């Protein structure tokens, strides 16, 4: 029962803040709502007993991405000198597309026989994730390091001072 | 709560993100919508992993989160570069590739 209450509160926070992200007129407010949505997702991960992923979510998403988005807004809006307002276009078409997609996926989900209960955890999930990252998935893990390096170099190259 | 509830929650968040991507005119707003969509996918992965009793989905989520961060950094670097060249971040005005 406590899980049901926690799930529905998180669902309300997540959906509400996600709507605020796409509907807010002020771009800065959008980013702050995104931070709330990402924190809500960390709560969903906690509910699914994935503590490690909840921490990664908070550090990388809510900490990292929100910070660099705020930087990007400051850089691109300050030079224009306008207020940070943003408008949307084709709201009807967008709403129809999104609602159709949601209806399609929800319909497909409700037709499938899905498990309603889960097995209680017998092992430490964080430990299991760590072990498989460094044994079975060690090659993708190393490739991920290369990708991060490439992304970092690329971002620095793009953002270099004008010569 | 069953797996179904988590999947429907993720589908709704994904749909909202799609709405943002389609309707936003500011490029940074579009990127925020993409972040929401990727986030919804991560909820799906973790829910499936937890309900199937296998940790592989969670390992995949770790990779997905890292790749999202790289994507956001590159995307914003491109936005800043575009702004430097065109002095605007409105997607309507970024039509350099239009013949």
Q: Do residues A2 and A75 share a domain? A: yes
DSSP 3-state assignment of B87?
Answer: coil
Contacting A residues, span 88-107, partner chain B, CB-CB under 8 Å: 88-91, 93-95, 97-99, 101-102, 105-106
* Whether residues A12 and A75 fall in one domain: yes
Instruction: State pLDDT tens for residues A56-98.
Output: 999 888 888 888 888 888 877 754 555 556 677 788 888 999 9
The domain of A63 spans: 1-111
* A116-147 pLDDT tens trace: 777 777 788 888 888 998 999 999 999 999 99
Interface contact B15-A68, CB threshold 8 A: no
Same domain, A106 and A142: no
List the single best residue of B8, B10, B21, B46 to mutate versus A (max A Cβ within 10 A): B46
Q: How many domains does chain A have?
A: 2
Give the per-residue pLDDT at A138. Answer: 93
The stretch B24-37 carries a mean pLDDT of 89
User: Could you give the percent of chain A with pLDDT greater than 70?
Assistant: 91
Residues A90 and A129 in one domain: no
Task: Show residues of chain B in contact with A86, CB under 8 Å.
Answer: 24-26, 29
Residue that has been written with the tokens 């799930």 in this structure: A7
Task: Decide which of B33 and A159 is more confident.
Answer: B33
Residue A116 domain-assigned (yes or no): no
Phi, psi of A3 (to 5 degrees): -65, -40
pTM (2 decimals)?
A: 0.88
Reading the block at residue A89, the tokens are: 């276009």
Q: Give the pLDDT score at B14.
A: 94
pLDDT value for A3: 84
Q: Are residues A84 and A138 in the same domain?
A: no
**Among A31-35, B44-48, B49-53, which stretch is predicted with the lowest mean pLDDT?**
B49-53
CA A72 from centre of chain: 18
Question: How many residues appear in chain A?
Answer: 163
Domain of B17, in residue numbers:
3-93
Interface check for A154 against chain B (CB to CB < 8 A): the answer is yes
Q: Six-digit token pair at B70? A: 């790289």
């Amino acid at each position: 029962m406590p899980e049901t209450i926690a799930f529905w509160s998180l669902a309300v926070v997540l959906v509400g803040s996600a709507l605020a992200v796409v509907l807010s007129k002020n771009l800065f407010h959008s980013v702050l709502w995104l931070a709330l949505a990402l924190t809500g997702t960390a709560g969903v991960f906690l509910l699914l007993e994935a503590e490690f992923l909840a921490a990664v979510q908070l550090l990388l998403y809510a900490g990292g991405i929100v910070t660099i988005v705020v930087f990007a807004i400051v850089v691109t809006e300050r030079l224009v000198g306008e207020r940070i307002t943003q408008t949307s276009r084709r709201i009807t078409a967008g709403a129809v597309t999104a609602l159709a997609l949601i209806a399609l996926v929800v319909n497909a989900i409700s037709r499938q026989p899905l498990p309603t209960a889960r097995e209680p955890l017998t092992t430490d999930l964080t430990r299991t994730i760590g072990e498989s990252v460094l044994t079975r998935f060690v090659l993708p893990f190393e490739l991920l390091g290369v990708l991060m390096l490439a992304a970092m170099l690329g971002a620095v190259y793009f953002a270099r001072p004008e010569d | 709560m069953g797996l179904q509830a988590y999947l429907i929650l993720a589908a709704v968040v994904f749909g909202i993100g799609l709405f943002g991507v389609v309707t936003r005119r500011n490029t940074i707003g579009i990127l925020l919508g993409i972040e929401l969509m990727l986030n919804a996918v991560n909820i799906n992965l973790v829910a499936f992993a937890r309900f199937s009793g296998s940790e592989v989905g969670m390992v995949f989520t770790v990779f997905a989160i890292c790749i999202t961060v790289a994507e956001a950094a590159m995307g914003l670097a491109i936005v800043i570069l575009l702004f430097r060249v065109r002095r605007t971040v409105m997607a309507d005005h970024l039509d350099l590739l239009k013949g």
